[in-house]
Amino acid sequence: MTRIAIITGSTRPGRRGGNVTDWVLEAAGRHRPEVTFEVLDLHDHALPHLDETAPAIFGAYERAHTLHWAEAVGAYDGFVFVVPEYNHSFPAPLKNAIDFLYAEWNDKAAGFVTYGINGGVRAAEHLRQVLAELKVATVRTQVALSIHHDFAISDPLEPGTLTPGPHQEPALTTMLDEVVAWAGALKSLRVPA
Ligand SMILES: Cc1cc2nc3c(=O)[nH]c(=O)nc-3n(C[C@H](O)[C@H](O)[C@H](O)COP(=O)(O)O)c2cc1C
């Protein structure tokens, strides 16, 4: 059984990321019922600013929260990152959470569902660079949700409602198929724990 984590990459009170994560989880379960999809929400892990002595590549985790996060990430074969664009990149709490670990990311697949004024595409481009260093294979197809066209927002301080255009779910299912295929193929590279 292939296991894919849907990582909610924003932690802001009133975030839109919760609605986007729910949409991804529901569509993923419907499209690929034989695959396990679970939400990994940064908000639930509440990691502090990186406080490990050794860089994660040494695998010498000392803190309970790091071990807990490592166990969570290590349980999956691949990831779907649900990520907004913040200042032409992805949110700092997500970078911090990525930096805590190393081996748990290695030789796994990932895809992106981004959102922002222009679909959040710059968040994904930065994230691809970071994940390459962690030996994560990032798939081509990407979902880019526009704040203006794929959400109904009456108050900019409220999350509003996700109203994805008709082309978005086909993009999502194509991306999911790519992630599941690569996650399966990369299993043979990983040493069983
Ligand atoms: C700190 C911050 C910086 C932002 N910078 C950008 C940006 O550079 N480009 C963009 O398209 N949207 C930007 N936005 C808008 C967000 O993409 C949009 O508000 C999105 O809903 C934020 O995700 P969240 O609701 O899950 O926190 C920014 C929002 C925040 C909070």
pLDDT tens figures, 13-32? 999 999 999 999 999 999 99
Atom 28 of ligand 1, residue of closest alpha carbon: 86
- Tell me the C-alpha distance between 19 and 102, whole Å: 29
Q: Does the pTM exceed 0.85?
A: yes
pLDDT in the model for residue 192:
65
Residue found under tokens 């940064």? 42
Positive/negative CA dihedral, 52, 56, 60, 64: positive
Give the containing element (helix H, strand E) for 83: strand 78-84
**Rounded average pLDDT over 83-108:** 98
Domains assigned to the chain: 3-189 (3.40.50.360)
Pick from 19, 117, 157 the residue to mutate for probing ligand 1's pocket: most ligand atoms within 8 Å of its CB: 117
Task: Decide if 137 contacts 79 (C-beta within 8 A).
Answer: no
Query: Minimum mean pLDDT among 35-39, 42-46, 187-191: which range?
Result: 187-191
**Rounded-to-integer distance, Cα 153 and Cα 149, Å:** 10
Q: Are 74 and 40 in contact (CB under 8 A)?
A: no
Q: Is the pLDDT of residue 193 over 60?
A: no
- Give Cα 62 to chain centroid, integer Å: 25
Alpha carbon distance 5, 16 (integer Å)? 18
Dihedral angle of Cα 64, 72, 192, 172, to the nearest 10 degrees: -160
Q: Which of 12, 55, 16 shows the shortest CA–CA distance to 147? A: 16
Mean per-residue pLDDT over the chain, rounded: 97
In this model, does residue 87 exceed pLDDT 80?
A: yes
Q: Sorting pLDDT into bands at 50, 70 and 90, what band is 46? A: confident
Atom 17 of ligand 1: nearest residue by CA position: 116
Residues 6+ positions from 157 with CB-CB distance below 8 Å: 14
Residue ranges lining ligand 1, Cβ < 6 Å = 10, 12, 15-17, 84-88, 115-118, 147
Q: Cα(18)–Cα(29) distance, rounded to whole angstroms? A: 17
Token digits for 60? 């010498």
**Best mutation site among 10, 23, 85, 114 for ligand 1 pocket (most ligand atoms within 8 Å of CB):** 85
